[in-house]
Structures are given as C-alpha cells and as structure tokens.
C-alpha cells in the first residue's frame, strides 16, 4: 500500500529529473552566473560593514541596501540588470535542488530541513531579483529594506502567526548551525571540482570558504534567535534581519572589531561564491 501510494510521487520526481537533464547546460550556466551575482551582493554588504567598523562613511546594510549602493555606481543600472538575471538563475537552481534532490539530501529530517531552506532561499532571491530589476529599469528609485519587524507584525495579526514566526526562526537557526558545520568540516569541498585550481589556490579557497561560512553562520543564527524571541514573546519589535544582526554584533564589547571580522567574513563568503561559480560540480 505504501509502495503504490508513493509511486506517483516517484514518477513525478523522475520526470522532473529528466526535464532538468534535458536543459542541464543552460541551468548550469545560469546557476554559475547566479553565484557571481550573489557574490557581488555579499561583497557589498561585507565592505559596508568594514567601512562602518572603521568609522568611514556608510553603515551596515542588508541585501536590498547593497542594491541601493550599487545603483549609484557608474553603469549601475547595467550591473543591477545582470544581478537580477543572476538572482533569478540562482533561485531556479535552488528550486531544482529542492524538487529533484540532485545531491541526495534524502527525505530524513535533515534532508527535509535543507530542502525547505532551498525553497525559502529561492523565494528570497526571487524577491531580491525583482527589486534589482525595478531599480535597473527605473520603476523604483530605491529598494525597500527587509523590514522584518513589519513582516512579523503582519503575521502576528493572524491565527498561528506567532508559530509561523517561530518556525521561520527555527529554520534560520538550523541554517546557521548547518553553516557552522560546513565551516568546521569544510564539507562544501564535496561539491567543488578542485582540479581546475593549483594546489595553492585550493588551499586558500578552502580556508576562505570556511571563514565565509563561519561569518554567515553567525549572522543567520542571530536572525533565527531574533525570530524565535519575536514568536515566543509575540512581540514584532524583537524580530530582526541581516542588518539587525550586524548592528547586534557592533553593540557588543569590542563590537567594532567583531563587526570588522563579520565584514571580512562576508567578503570571504563572496570570494567563495566566486569560486563556486568557477568550480562547482553540478550533479545532473
């Protein structure tokens, strides 16, 4: 009975895999371009965090804020259009990862959590791509910040809204813990083809990737804790996103040094994304 009930699901999954293999060369190109676009955004956030830490003009920001910084640069509209296309490609790759499970994450608890996080990532990057496209075409002059508090307040007005916020917090905390694990074990190496790099390049790519994953783990864990607190206390003012996580780091003792470390870590993560754009092995 269980076999027959699961057969339609398996058939659908196999059909999806066949469709993906059919257009695999295009998906790979789009995916690699998406890693580059994502890297540009993370590099911008990291650089702004470093400037803030060393008391230069500028402040910590979130991904939409990074887009606002880029639009003022020479040829900024062209760059944003390219980033928008990259974000859409990256979101598509995340959806494919969630549906077809090309890296065999499985259907256990860990696998399901990772695949749900892929879907959430796809939604976020699609929204970021739309924001970049609106800036590039002049439909909007400024991308709106990720107002997590407003989002939390809206959810709390619905039944079970607090539980949804808490669940989002658990997912973000899970992503943070997974990133700590990636940083500690360098497990991200399994999906990279290092034969394209020299021995020295491979050595530095691994260490930069570990540093980048560690910094991202801290930020995502803080966001998860913010959301959990907002959900359990039913207080939207406790919610926070990327910007609030960096501000929280800056408010600690020796906070400017901590913020500088986080900024360097996010730049390191951007460099790792550029390496993935070159060396990632797409398992079709």
Counting as low any pLDDT under 70, the low residues of the chain are 1-25, 55-59, 101-107, 110, 141-147, 195-196, 283-284
In a domain, 22, yes or no: yes
pLDDT of residue 61: 74
In a domain, 3, yes or no: no
In a domain, 159, yes or no: yes
Domain that holds residue 130: 9-279
Give me the number of domains the chain comprises. Answer: 1
In a domain, 1, yes or no: no
In a domain, 284, yes or no: no
pLDDT of residue 58: 53
In a domain, 210, yes or no: yes
Distance (Å, whole) CA 54 – CA 64: 22
pLDDT of residue 270: 94
pLDDT of residue 148: 80
In a domain, 75, yes or no: yes
pLDDT of residue 224: 92
pLDDT of residue 1: 44
pLDDT of residue 137: 83
pLDDT of residue 106: 66
In a domain, 83, yes or no: yes
pLDDT of residue 18: 60
């Amino acid at each position: 009975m269980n076999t027959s009930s699961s057969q339609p699901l398996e058939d659908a999954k196999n059909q999806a895999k066949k469709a993906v293999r059919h257009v695999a060369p295009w998906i790979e190109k789009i995916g690699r371009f998406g890693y580059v676009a994502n890297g540009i955004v993370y590099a911008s956030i990291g650089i702004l965090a470093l400037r803030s830490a060393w008391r230069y003009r500028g402040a910590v920001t979130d991904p939409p804020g990074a887009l606002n910084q880029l639009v003022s640069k020479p040829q900024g509209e062209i760059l944003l259009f390219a980033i928008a296309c990259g974000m859409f490609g990256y979101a598509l790759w995340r959806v494919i990862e969630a549906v077809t499970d090309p890296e065999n994450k499985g259907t256990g608890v860990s696998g399901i959590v990772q695949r749900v996080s892929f879907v959430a990532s796809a939604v976020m990057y699609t929204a970021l791509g739309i924001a970049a496209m609106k800036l590039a075409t002049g439909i909007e002059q400024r991308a709106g910040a990720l107002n997590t508090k407003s989002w939390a307040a809206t959810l709390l007005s619905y039944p079970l809204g607090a539980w949804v916020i808490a669940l989002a917090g658990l997912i973000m905390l899970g992503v943070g813990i997974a990133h700590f694990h990636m940083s500690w074990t360098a497990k991200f190496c399994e999906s990279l083809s290092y034969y394209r790099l020299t021995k020295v390049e491979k050595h530095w790519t691994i260490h930069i990737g570990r540093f980048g994953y560690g910094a991202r783990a801290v930020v995502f864990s803080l966001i998860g804790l913010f959301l959990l607190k907002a959900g359990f206390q039913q207080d939207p003012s406790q919610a926070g996103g990327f910007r609030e996580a960096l501000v929280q780091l800056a408010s600690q003792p020796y906070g400017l040094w901590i913020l500088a470390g986080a900024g360097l870590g996010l730049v390191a993560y951007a460099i790792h994304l550029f390496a993935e754009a070159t060396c990632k092995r797409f398992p079709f």
